Amino acid sequence: MTDVSAPQVKKRTGFQALEVDTRLLGMIGAFLVICFCFNILTEGRFLTPRNIFNLTIQTVSVAIMATGMVFVIVTRHIDLAVGALLATCSAFMAMLQTRYLPDMFGLGLGHPLTPWVTIAAGLLVGSVIGAFQGWLVGFLAIPAFIVTLGGLLVWRNVAWYQTSGQTIGPLDPTFMKFGGINGTLGETWSWIFGILAVAWALWALWSARKAKIAHDFPVKPAWAEATIAGIIAVGILGFIGILNAYQIPERRLERMFEARGETMPEGFTAAYGLPVSVLLLIAVAVAMTLVAQRTRLGRYIFATGGNPDAAELSGINTRMLTVKIFALMGFLCALSAVVASARLTNHSNDIGTLDELRVIAAAVIGGTALAGGIGTIYGAILGALIMQSLQSGMAMVGVDAPLQNIVVGTVLVAAVLIDTIYRKKTGGR
């Protein structure tokens, strides 16, 4: 990092100088403990490149919705319909690309326009449904709990009626690339992305330090900045390295060459690399973080969550804000529907079942306060990763599904208890 002379903070211990969020460290520590424990119980199978790859693509759908749930909970609402809305959007998009577009416009599977028209229409449907629920909450003053509880029942069965309860598939090949396993960047492009991500992260750190100096704000010591930069770089490149270590099976490679009318060279190997779905999650995380921290909408969301009455008196249209938040939540549900159905390669009747509980749990475990006003995007994503790690690890160990749900429920209650105690000790921060 560039050593720019500037006002320094008071002398502190080495750890304090890093100014790292202790709650974030606690979540990372819990995640690492879970990983190492399951790695021991599975005799080293949990932390293999293959399982880490699968873990990442399984986390994406819930993590995308969890970023939107942060805004919903921050404004002191709740959305119990996210799993059902995902199912409705998934059913609509599956029917659109397999029935409606071919019958009405002649755009069958494999047509260049089919996946993009399907995704655009699905995102529009999700946004409209979300906005409608937000209108019921914001303008008709019906509690969000009731509106979305009704939505859970309504949209789950709307999904069923769209497909008559049948599994719809296969889906468009380009559409399925958003699921992860059928769409990855490959080894070379994954390394390129990793290097660009590191460069962007270092530039962001340097820009933030420069901005603080320009406004005479105290900054961390240069060694602390360099340490954080090193940790970020190692984390990004290490993650890319692990994904690139997962090799595509030989038989799958042979089928890929055969599909192109070619013969696979002897001894040829290739890695999956970074899944497109994870790339999509990264884009969502960056966009939602910018909304939360750098836009008027984000300031209004957190101001309303901190004190709704004061926010309304200050001129914030809290009713329209509610519509916007639920519309955004609906948009993210539709985006998650793309990822979930693409990963399964079809729409199934039970898609998104219990996702509402997983999404809420991810946001809460990630530090979003149910009382409103506090929450982070990165915390929700880490919460989703912790939840998926628990479920995947228990499945690998052979824990029965009922007991898995018992453990997840217990963890959720424990997370809220710990968060409550933490906020009391830190004065509600």
Are 221 and 3 in contact by the 8 Å Cβ rule? The answer is: no
pLDDT digits (tens, 9 = 90+) for 132-157: 999 999 999 999 999 999 999 999 99
Residue 130 CB contacts under 8 Å (≥ 6 apart), including other chains = 85, 326, 327, 328, 329, 330, 331, 333
75 alpha carbon, distance to own chain's centre = 19
pTM of the model: 0.91
Residue 50 CB contacts under 8 Å (≥ 6 apart), including other chains = 246
Q: If DSSP codes are grouped into helix, strand and coil, which group holds residue 271? A: strand
Residue 263 CB contacts under 8 Å (≥ 6 apart), including other chains = 257
* Residue 2: pLDDT over 70: no
pLDDT at 426: 67
Burial class (CB in 10 A: 0-12, 13-18, 19+), 360: buried
pLDDT digits (tens, 9 = 90+) for 62-74: 999 999 999 999 9
Burial class (CB in 10 A: 0-12, 13-18, 19+), 413: exposed
Confidence of residue 99 (pLDDT cuts 50, 70, 90): very high
Q: Which of 3-7, 321-325, 358-362, 386-390 has maximum average pLDDT?
A: 321-325
pLDDT at 216: 81
* Residue 210: pLDDT over 90: no
DSSP at 179: G
Helix and strand tally (H, E) in the chain? 18, 0
pLDDT at 182: 82
* Residue 254: pLDDT over 60: yes
Q: Where are the domains of the chain?
A: 1-43+185-274, 48-183+289-429
Are 35 and 392 in contact by the 8 Å Cβ rule? The answer is: no
Distance between the two ends of the chain, CA-based, in angstroms? Answer: 30
pLDDT at 12: 57
Question: How confident is the model over 364-384, as a mean pLDDT?
Answer: 89
pLDDT at 13: 57
**In whole numbers, what is the pLDDT of the chain averaged over residues?**
89
Give the lowest-confidence range in 19-23, 205-209, 403-407: 19-23
Percent residues over pLDDT 90 in the chain? 59
**Phi, psi dihedrals of residue 363, rounded to the nearest 5°:** -65, -45
Which of the pair, 225 or 66, is modelled with greater confidence? Answer: 66
* Residue 385: pLDDT over 50: yes
Q: Is 91 left (phi over 0), alpha (psi -120 to 50) or beta?
A: alpha
* Residue 159: pLDDT over 50: yes
Give the lowest-confidence range in 2-11, 230-239, 316-325: 2-11
What angle separates helix 22-41 from helix 377-397, to the nearest 10 degrees?
Answer: 10
Helix, strand, coil content of the chain in percent (nearest 5): 70, 0, 25
* Residue 1: pLDDT over 60: no
| Radius of gyration from C-alpha coordinates of the chain | 23
pLDDT digits (tens, 9 = 90+) for 298-318: 999 999 998 998 999 999 999
How far apart, in whole angstroms, are the C-alpha atoms of residue 298 and residue 74?
11
Question: How confident is the model over 176-186, as a mean pLDDT?
Answer: 88
DSSP letter for each residue of 393-423: HHHHHT--HHHHHHHHHHHHHHHHHHHHHHH
* Residue 35: pLDDT over 60: yes
